[in-house]
Amino acid sequence: MAGILNIQMNPVSGDKEKNLETAKYYIEKYSDKKPDLVVLPEFFSTGVDHNSMVNRPEDKNGGIVVKYLSDIAQKFNTNIVCGSVIEKENDKLYNTAFVVDRTGKIVGKYRKIHLFQFFGGNENSYTTPGNLPPLVVELDFAKVGVSVCFDIKYPMLYKTLIKMGAEIIVSPSAWIKLKSLSTKEKENAALCWKSLNITRAAENLVYFVTSNLAGNINSSLYSVGNSMITNPLGVVESMQGNEENADFREIDLKLVRELKQTVPVAFID
């Protein structure tokens, strides 16, 4: 068994210090559970705040955000998927998820490949698609693959991750919709999100963990929330609402490893 702490946040726009304190609060609150892995959302340290993203990016080592979380990982003896930050290298910006281990060491980073540039989204206007290989990190308890938000729409990325041995796949997310949608349209948006989570877990026979933003984003946007932990059989073991919160769950990695032997989807095209 392994423990996962899935943190869902409604960050204060542009206030990195406050948002980092919030992340620490939840990690400390659940520290008695001794989680093996903590997962934070996409843009958790800034919110969807273009000024912070473009004018105050982090460096290639994740800057103050990853340094802060590295110290927390070491203090509480846990591995952390550090949500995502806007990382600047040379003259380019990337939407990057860093992974730190229990010693606080950066053991991997993944730059989001599939940028959201549809239905009015403009992520591609200020960030560059990832130029690093897909990431599977061998942590001390499991092999963890990393994706970010809109990647969930592209199943072949996940096929690559399971071929690389992933037993858990995480997806820091900011799954955002217009407030102007009708009630029915909002219900359908949430259903689509949940369905994608279940599908990615079941088709790849992995635990699929999405840590999403929650609540209002700005005057015109909201996040669907519903951060989820879904098991390899497509059973939802944890689903949060649409408020800031965290949820700890124990998962059975034996289930994944047995399925990898009996139903070897990683090797079937």
**178-183 average pLDDT score:** 92
**122 has pLDDT over 80:** no
Domain count, the chain: 1
**235 has pLDDT over 90:** yes
**267 has pLDDT over 80:** no
**34-39 average pLDDT score:** 98
Report the catalytic residues. 42, 112, 149
**204 has pLDDT over 60:** yes
Range of the domain at 83: 2-267
**Residue of higher predicted confidence among 78 and 178:** 78
**Who contacts 46 (Cβ-Cβ below 8 Å, separation ≥6)?**
11, 13, 14, 16, 19, 52, 53, 56, 85, 86
Contact in structure between 36 and 141 (CB atoms under 8 Å): yes
**232 has pLDDT over 70:** yes
**14-38 average pLDDT score:** 98
**Who contacts 246 (Cβ-Cβ below 8 Å, separation ≥6)?**
5, 6, 7, 8, 26, 29, 30
Distance of CA 105 to the CA centre of its chain: 19
Q: What is the mean pLDDT of the chain?
A: 94
What pTM does this model have?
Answer: 0.95
At 229, is the pLDDT very low, low, confident or very high (cuts 50, 70, 90)?
very high
How far is Cα 3 from Cα 183, in angstroms, rounded to an integer? Answer: 35
| pLDDT tens figures, 140-167 | 999 999 999 999 999 999 999 999 999 9
User: In this predicted structure, what is the pLDDT of residue 51?
Assistant: 83
Per-residue DSSP letter, 36: S
Cα distance from N-terminal residue to C-terminal residue, the chain: 30
User: In this predicted structure, what is the pLDDT of residue 116?
Assistant: 80
User: In this predicted structure, what is the pLDDT of residue 195?
Assistant: 98
**CATH value at residue 133:** 3.60.110.10
Backbone φ, ψ for residue 254 (5° rounding): -60, -35
User: In this predicted structure, what is the pLDDT of residue 119?
Assistant: 52
